[in-house]
Amino acid sequence: MMHQLILRKPLAIFDLETTGINVAKDRIIDICIIKAMPDGEVITKNQRVNPDMPIPLESSMIHGLYDEDVKDAPLFKSVARTLAQFIDGCDLAGFNCNRFDVPLLVEEFLRANVEFDMKNRRLVDAQRIFHLMEPRNLTAAYKFYCNKDLIGAHGAEADTIATFEVLNAQVQRYMGMVARSDSGQDLVFQNDIEMLHGLTANKNVDLAGRMIINDKGEEVFNFGKHKGLPVLDVLKKEPSFYDWILKGEFPLDTKRRLTEIRLRMFSSGNGRK
């Protein structure tokens, strides 16, 4: 296997399978590295890793690796030095690597007390290139799904007609396929508005997303000093925060939803007037 990349030094393209997406807490369970050399040679290294923690079922359902698959694999600290040596002097590349794979890999090296210097390494993220070079707008969607050029783009009528045609084409293209919603639920794509709602709906409490529903089904703030904290808890401990939002430059819908939560708190007897 050869490549056509023009390189001044080796480029290590890699991907991780992990126990989850929390860089600080989750662990690597599989790493594949393709080292592209300046002379065109390609060297591949694949390493399974025992994460020394249970693999959550939701993660296993994504990458297909379960506890049984890695129970006899070495711990990362046992292979860290070998991996570091393999990519020593390499620039790094991946898909969404800048936001996830590189930070998590470096975190694992630090936990293993293996020096992995990021200085003088170039980082290339193929996902970022994809998003930069292939526009994700209605014009692009119309061309992709309907194979038509959108004439009069950004005019309300033209955009509305195009959106209608795109939605029709999407239903036909993806019928029966499994899609994963933002909530992590696997849904079978159907010509059904309830299903399409479940697939595309977000976790926002208010339309602006200043409050969202967390994994526990709780309403939590999604900004500022209280980000991630339950709205009810904040309102109880810091009633003035409610007044600050109502007097601030927040959308009316946000203020309305927050008021509804506050009234619900009082009606349940948990608030204080």
Residue 3 included in any domain: no
Q: Which residue range is the domain that position 149 belongs to?
A: 138-200
How many residues are there in the chain?
273
Across the range 67-79, mean pLDDT stands at 97
Q: Are residues 20 and 125 in the same domain?
A: yes
Across the range 53-81, mean pLDDT stands at 95
Between helix 76-86 and helix 102-111 the angle, nearest 10°, is: 120
Q: Are residues 27 and 100 in the same domain?
A: yes
Q: Are residues 142 and 126 in the same domain?
A: no
Kindly indicate the confidence band of residue 1, based on its pLDDT and cuts at 50, 70 and 90. low
Domain boundary among 104, 130, 156: 130
116-164 tens-digit pLDDT: 888 889 999 988 888 777 788 899 999 999 999 999 877 888 888 898 8
Residue 241 included in any domain: yes
Residue 189 included in any domain: yes
Total domains in the chain come to 3
Residue 260 makes CB contacts below 8 A (sequence gap 6+) with none
Per-residue pLDDT at 265 exceeds 90: no
**Lookup result for tokens 């927050």:** 258
Q: How many CB atoms lie within 10 A of CB 52?
A: 11
Q: Are residues 22 and 66 in the same domain?
A: yes
Q: Are residues 82 and 113 in the same domain?
A: yes
pLDDT at residue 129, rounded to an integer: 82
Mean pLDDT, the chain, rounded, equals 90
135-148 tens-digit pLDDT: 888 999 999 999 99
Q: Are residues 222 and 112 in the same domain?
A: no
Q: Are residues 124 and 149 in the same domain?
A: no
Q: Are residues 35 and 144 in the same domain?
A: no
Q: When comparing pLDDT for 2 and 106, which is higher?
A: 106
pLDDT at residue 269, rounded to an integer: 64
Kindly indicate the confidence band of residue 273, based on its pLDDT and cuts at 50, 70 and 90. very low
Residues 55, 52: Cα–Cα separation, whole Å: 9
pTM of the model: 0.62
Q: How many CB atoms lie within 10 A of CB 193?
A: 8
Across the range 63-72, mean pLDDT stands at 95
Q: What is the residue type of 157?
A: E
Residue 6 included in any domain: no
Residue 47 included in any domain: yes
Q: When comparing pLDDT for 112 and 195, which is higher?
A: 112
Residues 157, 160: Cα–Cα separation, whole Å: 5
Q: Are residues 88 and 115 in the same domain?
A: yes
Q: Are residues 52 and 156 in the same domain?
A: no
Residue 224 included in any domain: yes
Domain boundary among 78, 111, 130: 130
Residues 130, 112: Cα–Cα separation, whole Å: 33
Kindly indicate the confidence band of residue 85, based on its pLDDT and cuts at 50, 70 and 90. very high
Q: Are 229 and 218 in contact (CB under 8 A)?
A: no
Residue 4 included in any domain: no
Across the range 241-268, mean pLDDT stands at 91
Q: Are residues 120 and 21 in the same domain?
A: yes
Residue 273 included in any domain: no
| 3-class SS string, 158-227 | HHHHHHHHHHHHHHHHHCCCEEECCCCCEEECCCCHHHHHHHHCCCECCCCCCEEECCCCCEEECCHHHC
Residues 107, 18: Cα–Cα separation, whole Å: 13
Q: Are residues 217 and 119 in the same domain?
A: no
Per-residue pLDDT at 271 exceeds 60: no
Across the range 94-99, mean pLDDT stands at 90
Domain boundary among 101, 130, 159: 130
Across the range 183-201, mean pLDDT stands at 83
Tokens of 191: 């010509």
CATH number of the structural domain spanning residue 73: 3.30.420.10
